[in-house]
Chains A and B, each alone.
Chain A
């Protein structure tokens, strides 16, 4: 009986000593928590360095999304460049897993270190394309998908992309 009794008294004393320790609570609204640069918060659509939309409406993010909160419609402009006609994320469903960011082939969709998205009405949590688009390139400053892709769009023919060789003339016998 003796040892458990001493252990109980020791427990009480040690818990009492906690009164003089540092608080671990973060007093949130006044004191912001540190969010890592790769924190998975509010989703944005970024632009390439030239200011065009990066999103090519490939639908991979919508497919990867486990809760189906991304909806978009692909379309093409007159130069053959694909872009989403509308792009909608329902943040009341989003679980901020970041799978869309991993799935995106053009670094268009990105998660940002911001979680303060509270709204009083649920429908206000549905973000349209103009709410999602940001003006800059986000985490990948120099990257421009259409400059490195081998796809022909207006103002850029085959073989004119960065690191792209001229197309092979299959009718020529010369090497």
Chain B
């Protein structure tokens, strides 16, 4: 089912992901403004769309400063890692039937593995900055992302059990009759929360925590390196949203409109929901995040997997 023109689909996915990430900056600012009774950036171009161009010109022109006390090679490498791992994950996202860079038979595992690798970027950035706030941010990121990684994988096992496959196009195809959000509602909620924590978004932005840690792991970053962290974060949001759409809301499946449109619409709904959470929720304390993850979410994920497994045993897979 892999596309007949691999280079074309790779280019399409890379350019698409980067464009979406760039425009998400504008989308997020407009949506936050919408929920805060403001207008947001609406001056540059139609609806302020050229704000994206202005921001990118600005961030490319800024001084790209490396502190003399930083561990230079690691400092330069760290922002690239978050970028690369998220882009790699997009390789297994099925946009529409046939539009996928690589239909791995373990696509879901590949996605989980890549999002685990992303934590290296944050930890190394915090470590190489040689700054106590950056280091605390990096440590928080390591603990938080590892903890939430555990039940992120477990919460998806229900979906895998129902679909009987780790391949994402097969999982989408298995939702022809009913979207997995209905039989796997606990799994959906767990994955949503884990995805929030994985992308380090408010309310799980403890590695950044600008009111406590200056800017956390990217305190010492400037210019386009800082921009890489931001684009990486926005692509992470887009990735988690598209994964929610694929795993629980039937990906490209939908009436009338072509599959690509359905996929993009569903992804955008979840991106907007992530922004809504940012507008609405405060940041919890770090020990609350950890105990919530280990004492509530992990047992729930295990119970969900157990019940789903029993159900599949009794009534059989589809």
Contact partner of A12 among B38, B280, B296, CB < 8 A? Answer: B280
CA distance A24 to B34 in the complex (A): 11
B-contacting residues, A14-37, CB 8 Å? 14-16, 18-19, 21-25, 27
Do A16 and B38 form a contact, CB below 8 Å, given A8-B281, A11-B281? no
CA distance A23 to B276 in the complex (A): 17
B279 part of interface (Cβ distance < 8 Å): yes
Would you call A24 and B279 a contact (CB within 8 A)? no
In the complex, residue of chain A having the shortest beta-carbon distance to the beta carbon of B277: A12
In the complex, residue of chain B having the shortest beta-carbon distance to the beta carbon of A14: B280
CA distance A22 to B279 in the complex (A): 17
Contact partner of B276 among A1, A15, A25, CB < 8 A? Answer: A15
CA distance A22 to B34 in the complex (A): 10
Would you call B281 and A23 a contact (CB within 8 A)? no
A-contacting residues, B250-281, CB 8 Å? 276-277, 279-281
The residues of A that contact B39 with a CB separation of less than 8 Å are 23, 25, 27
In the complex, residue of chain A having the shortest beta-carbon distance to the beta carbon of B282: A11
Would you call B277 and A18 a contact (CB within 8 A)? no
B37 part of interface (Cβ distance < 8 Å): yes
In angstroms, how far is the closest chain A Cβ from the Cβ of B277? 7
CA distance A11 to B34 in the complex (A): 16
Would you call A18 and B281 a contact (CB within 8 A)? no
B19 part of interface (Cβ distance < 8 Å): no
The residues of A that contact B34 with a CB separation of less than 8 Å are 18-19
Contact partner of B38 among A1, A11, A24, CB < 8 A? Answer: A24
Contact partner of B279 among A8, A15, A23, CB < 8 A? Answer: A15
B36 part of interface (Cβ distance < 8 Å): yes
CA distance A18 to B280 in the complex (A): 11
In angstroms, how far is the closest chain A Cβ from the Cβ of B280? 4
B35 part of interface (Cβ distance < 8 Å): yes
Would you call B37 and A18 a contact (CB within 8 A)? yes
Contact partner of A16 among B37, B276, B281, B296, CB < 8 A? Answer: B276
Which one of A12, A14, A21 has the greatest number of beta carbons of chain B within 10 Å? A12
CA distance A174 to B228 in the complex (A): 97
The residues of A that contact B281 with a CB separation of less than 8 Å are 8, 11-12
Contact partner of B37 among A12, A14, A24, A27, CB < 8 A? Answer: A24
In angstroms, how far is the closest chain B Cβ from the Cβ of A142? 46
The residues of B that contact A25 with a CB separation of less than 8 Å are 37-39
In angstroms, how far is the closest chain A Cβ from the Cβ of B271? 15
In the complex, residue of chain A having the shortest beta-carbon distance to the beta carbon of B42: A27
Would you call B35 and A23 a contact (CB within 8 A)? no
A-contacting residues, B24-77, CB 8 Å? 34-39
The residues of A that contact B36 with a CB separation of less than 8 Å are 18
A-contacting residues, B161-185, CB 8 Å? none
In the complex, residue of chain A having the shortest beta-carbon distance to the beta carbon of B296: A1
The residues of A that contact B35 with a CB separation of less than 8 Å are 15-16, 18-19
CA distance A11 to B277 in the complex (A): 9
In angstroms, how far is the closest chain B Cβ from the Cβ of A157? 64
B-contacting residues, A109-135, CB 8 Å? none
In the complex, residue of chain B having the shortest beta-carbon distance to the beta carbon of A1: B296
The residues of B that contact A12 with a CB separation of less than 8 Å are 276-277, 280-281
Binding site for B on A (CB under 8 A): 1, 8, 11-12, 14-16, 18-19, 21-25, 27
9 A-B residue pairs with Cβ-Cβ distance under 8 Å, sorted by A, are A12-B277, A15-B279, A15-B280, A16-B276, A18-B37, A19-B35, A21-B37, A23-B39, A24-B37
Binding site for A on B (CB under 8 A): 34-39, 276-277, 279-281, 296
Closest 5 CB pairs of A and B: A15-B280, A12-B280, A18-B35, A11-B280, A25-B39
